[in-house]
Structure formats: C-alpha cells, structure tokens
C-alpha cells in the first residue's frame, strides 16, 4: 500500500491510498540442499522434512492472517530471480540461503536491491560451527538473523516479520499531520521540494 501525498498551503497531509488493509504477503525461500531435510544429517538439521516445515509455517501464517508462499532451489540464479520478482508481489521475505549465506554476493545484492524487509534464518547456530560459516553476506542487508532454533526459527521469523510489517501498516494508516517547520534561510519551501521529487520519482514513499 503506497502512501499518497497531498500538498496544501499550510500542512502536508499523508494518508494511505486505500482504506482497507490488504493481507500481508511473505515469501519463504529455502536454499540449496534444504530439500534433503529430515533425510540426512539429522543430528544437525533435525528430523522434520521440508514439507512438514512448510506446513508448520503455513499453519502459523493462517493464524496470523498472512499469505505465505514457499520455494526451494539448489540454484543461486533461481534464488536471485525469485528475490527480484518478490519486489512487486510480497511485503517481506524469510530466507535460509543455506551454503550461499557464506558465499553469495549475488543474493545479498538482490535483497538489497528489492528493499523488502528480509529475515535470515538458519536451523543450526552458524556461529558455533566451522569458521567459514560464521560469515554471512546476507546479515548486513537483513532486518534480522535467527540461528540455532531449528524449524522454530522460521516461526519466530514469521512472527517477527509480521509484527514489523503490521506495525508499519498501522502507522501508515493513521493520518499524520506534519506542521511545517521554520525554513532555513536560503532553502526552498518544502512544498516546492516535494513537487520536484514527485515529478522526478513519480511518487514519494
């Protein structure tokens, strides 16, 4: 929901473009080898299958009235494409980039480019494991990172992202009255600067 702006002589009023609140949409992205969950390395990654994990995520999403879509790929390019496409279709992303966490500047760049709030999840505590798993290329562009809680980490991420997005929407929905501040000497009026931005960027978000 994009805010729209009206400009008036005395005040700048910001209000949401539509009255109703749409359902939040969250994309859950599973990286390489996570399709093997529950079949091998159970001492590290647990016994739950990816299918069962996705069902648990869907169940919580329903309770939170969130729409979730899950996807898994072993290919870095495919993950990048899904993240790019999420920009216009989702409000946020939950991602376990698996081994690409520690190698992929492409996934980091895609997350930064779409600008959607993104939560990085790891089943294991990557900071307690081998040194090469301590570095995450994703953490620096993520809203937050959850590691070491097994499948519960995805549910914590969903709750956290839901709260983050829902709070943002509540704030957006409340009309905000912004009284103009005294203009610094030599600067143009706010109204005129906003008009320029609307003309050059199409809208102001």
Known catalytic membership, residue 102: no
Q: How far is the CB of 2 from ligand CA2 (least distance, A)?
A: 34
Known catalytic membership, residue 127: no
Looking at beta carbons only, is 24 or 83 nearer to ligand CA2?
83
Q: How far is the CB of 24 from ligand CA2 (least distance, A)?
A: 24
b/e map of 81-116 (b: 16 or more CB within 10 Å)? ebbeebeeebbbbbbbbbebbbebeebbebbeebeb
Q: How far is the CB of 107 from ligand CA2 (least distance, A)?
A: 12
Q: How far is the CB of 10 from ligand CA2 (least distance, A)?
A: 53
Cβ neighbors of 180 (< 8 A, separation 6 or more) are 10, 11, 12, 190
Looking at beta carbons only, is 115 or 140 nearer to ligand CA2?
140
Looking at beta carbons only, is 135 or 188 nearer to ligand CA2?
135
DSSP E strand stretches across the chain: 3-7, 12-16, 24-30, 66-72, 92-96, 118-122, 144-147, 176-178
Provide the phi-psi class of 50: left if phi over 0, else alpha when psi is between -120 and 50, else beta.
Answer: alpha
Q: Which of 30, 90, 100, 122 is catalytic?
A: 122
The CA distance from 56 to 142, in Å, is: 23
- Binding-site ranges for ligand CA2 (CB under 6 A): 33-34, 36-37, 40-41, 45, 96, 98-99, 101, 122-124, 126, 133
Looking at beta carbons only, is 96 or 118 nearer to ligand CA2?
96
Catalytic residues: 45, 122
């Amino acid at each position: 929901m994009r805010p729209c702006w009206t400009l008036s002589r005395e005040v700048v009023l910001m209000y949401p473009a539509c009255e109703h609140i749409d359902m939040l949409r969250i994309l859950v992205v599973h990286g390489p080898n996570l399709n093997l969950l529950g079949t091998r390395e159970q001492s590290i990654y647990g016994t739950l299958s990816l299918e069962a994990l996705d069902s648990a995520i869907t169940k919580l999403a329903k309770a939170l009235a969130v729409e979730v879509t899950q996807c898994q790929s072993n290919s870095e390019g495919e993950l990048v494409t899904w993240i790019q496409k999420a920009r216009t279709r989702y409000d946020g992303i939950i991602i376990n980039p698996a081994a690409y966490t520690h190698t992929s500047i492409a996934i980091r760049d895609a997350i930064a480019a779409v600008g959607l709030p993104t939560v990085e999840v790891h089943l294991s505590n990557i900071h307690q494991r081998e040194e090469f798993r301590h570095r995450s290329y994703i953490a620096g562009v993520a809203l937050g990172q959850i590691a070491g809680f097994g499948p519960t980490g995805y549910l914590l991420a969903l709750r956290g992202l839901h709260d983050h997005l829902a709070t943002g929407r509540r704030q957006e929905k409340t009309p905000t009255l912004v009284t103009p501040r005294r203009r610094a000497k030599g600067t143009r009026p706010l109204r005129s600067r906003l008009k320029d931005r609307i003309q050059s960027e199409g809208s102001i978000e």
